[in-house]
Amino acid sequence: MSLNKIKKLAGAAILLAFFAYLMFFFLSDIDRFSPLLNISPNVAAGLLGLSFLVFLGLSVQQYLILLSVKCKLSFSTVFLLAVSNTLLNYLPLKMGLVAKGGYLKFMHKLSVGDYLGTLASGQLLWILLSALIGAVVGFLTLYPELQTLNVTLMLLTALLALSAVMTSLLLLTFRRPYMVEFLGKVLSVIRIDPKLIPCISISRPIILLYVVSSGVLFGIFSLRVWCSFAVVGVDIDFLQVLFLQACLSVSFAFSFVPGNLGLKEGAFVALSAMYGLDLDGALLAALIDRAASLSLTFLLGPMALARLSYSVWLEKTVPPISH
């Protein structure tokens, strides 16, 4: 049996197990619905607002990474791509990435190699930043006596600087033989074709802007998670939320389930158990976080797809104006 077929079967099994457990979870105690049904309009609006900020953050990331291959789009177009990509990624085979690549190739003449190179670059930078944040937060949780504002700000500032320097050095040495061999192994693990290494070339200013914007996006994701826990009455330290979000961000690179359904919720519960938190509350928090993301995705996603599809239709059917 091929590896791809095993992944498909495993993904289907995870989804079935996840939805089966959700049915058992709620049907065994109907009162567990209460926190979900009693969310106030203000709280719901706040969670949706954070989800909208997530889309803006993803758009900034995409805008910057496309600049590295001299593909300058309007921010509104990048925003539509970010929303539609998120919606379509709930389909098998990460259809969002395929559709976005097709759009950029047809409408903006971006080559497949450059597009895949931007995906690989962005994913590497995001994983590296998330891993560094997780390492710093893990260090602080191991040594609670260091959890002062000054120390935390100092470590987070050093983290941003270190991540910018490390990514700069990493990307500037991509063409060195030993780096090619090492990165080939890393990229293979996270399911990116090592042949893309020559396509990855980002200027240092873009790297710095990308790292800073990614840090802000990471903070927005974390704030939404923290609010989700607060809604169900689970008292969780914000450093624990940062560590949870770091693990979730890294895990997305290895996901083989559409939208990371089931895996994200499982990570919520497993990491909450590590911190001794209420597991039922952790699952409810994961569902609220998922609902905040899905509701805006399914609200804006069809409109974004329609607008992009219309622009493609115009390009195909309307002849260019001759002067």
- The ranges assigned to domains in the chain are 41-304
Per the listing, tokens 């991509």 go with 174
Distance CA 283, CA 271 (A): 11
Could you give the C-alpha distances from 223 to 53, 69, 125, 217, 245, in angstroms and in order? Answer: 11, 32, 21, 10, 10
Nearest to 61 by CA among 163, 246, 211: 211
* Res 168: pLDDT: 53
Residues 161-212 pLDDT 10s: 565 555 555 555 444 455 555 555 555 554 555 455 444 555 667 777 888 8
Residues 107-126 pLDDT 10s: 988 888 788 878 877 887 88
SS3 category, 249: helix
Tokens linked to 247: 């693990």
Per the listing, tokens 């790297």 go with 207
* Res 194: pLDDT: 47
Nearest to 246 by CA among 211, 212, 222: 222
**84 and 308 in contact (C-beta within 8 Å)?**
yes
Helices (H) and strands (E) in the chain, counts: 12, 0
pLDDT at 158 over 80: no
pTM reported for the whole predicted model: 0.81
pLDDT at 275 over 80: yes
Least confident of 61-65, 77-81, 139-143, 173-177: 173-177
pLDDT at 67 over 60: yes
Per the listing, tokens 């993904």 go with 11
Distance CA 267, CA 244 (A): 8
Residues 279-311 pLDDT 10s: 888 899 999 999 999 999 999 999 999 999 989
Residues near 127 by Cβ (< 8 Å), separated by ≥ 6? Answer: 190, 249, 250, 253
